[in-house]
Amino acid sequence: MSSSDAWRDGFQLSSLIAVSETDILRTADNDPSMQSDSTVLLFLQDGMKWLEETAATFRASSQPGAANNFLPSQYINRPSAIQRQRQEREARDAEGFPDLNQMPHGLGSFEWLDSVHDPPLAQVLGLETPVDILVARQFGALDGMGDLDRPRTVFYPDERYFEPSQVPDVPGRWEFMTTHGDSNARVLAQINFNNDPRIDNVAPTAQDIWNLRQRFQGEWQRGERDDDPTEGIELVWIPNDFAGAMEAAARHGIAGSSHEQ
């Protein structure tokens, strides 16, 4: 197996455990055993190469007149519009995030929104896993496809570290779950709290939002307010021992088994 094949296999494993590129790099920086392992360096270098090659393929294939324009075969069964609406509602009710177009921060799992219909829709496009769909969406390869034609995915954050009511009992730091695109946690924080006199930074950090949230909740408990202005700004706790947290999550099947369809 080539190093790029090994990287892609590893990338597809993140359909169980999702981790942002920043966290991979930080883990490699902080873990001497990973620093000395050339496999990790190849993992990162070949991973970026694979992303670039995949994006180029997506762009070429989606051009007018291309042999494969990503339109699913007419023989592939599709879910109904009502099924799609129900599946998306159920995913959101279970604290899932359908159709992310970026790798989120933190632990969690990428899964099919519909485990029956979505895998065949992906296979017609030459894609195999929910993370493959994430990459395709990230580069706009699925733009223009109908809602019933394109394969759909959902990200389930690890409930231990997603929006917890108190700081988890493992050393770590707060991060915004999403940081790219028009509607993400970091942008929402900046819109609502840039230059806020209650924080020390011009642009709010995830730690700032956590501190404000605790303040607002205290005011709510004292009857001084009836809302939380930080609501909707998704925060995740990133353990310092990220590699260990990933291994523990994999052992226990975190965020996967409880959401299987």
Sorting pLDDT into bands at 50, 70 and 90, what band is 254? low
Residue 123: partners with Cβ closer than 8 Å, 6 or more residues away? none
Compute the average pLDDT of residues 215-226: 92
Alpha-carbon radius of gyration of the chain? 20
Q: What is the pLDDT of residues 146-175, one digit of tens each?
A: 888 899 999 999 999 999 999 999 999 999
Among 35-39, 103-107, 133-137, the minimum mean pLDDT is found in 35-39
Q: Where are the beta strands (DSSP E) in 26-168?
A: 97-98, 108-112, 153-157
CA distances from 95 to 90, 98, 104, 234, 259 (A): 9, 10, 14, 11, 10
Token reading at 9: 């296999």
Q: What is the pLDDT of residues 71-126, one digit of tens each?
A: 445 557 788 899 999 999 999 999 999 998 888 999 999 999 999 999 999 998 88
Sorting pLDDT into bands at 50, 70 and 90, what band is 253? low
Q: What is the pLDDT of residues 166-208, one digit of tens each?
A: 999 999 999 999 988 766 999 999 999 998 899 888 889 999 9
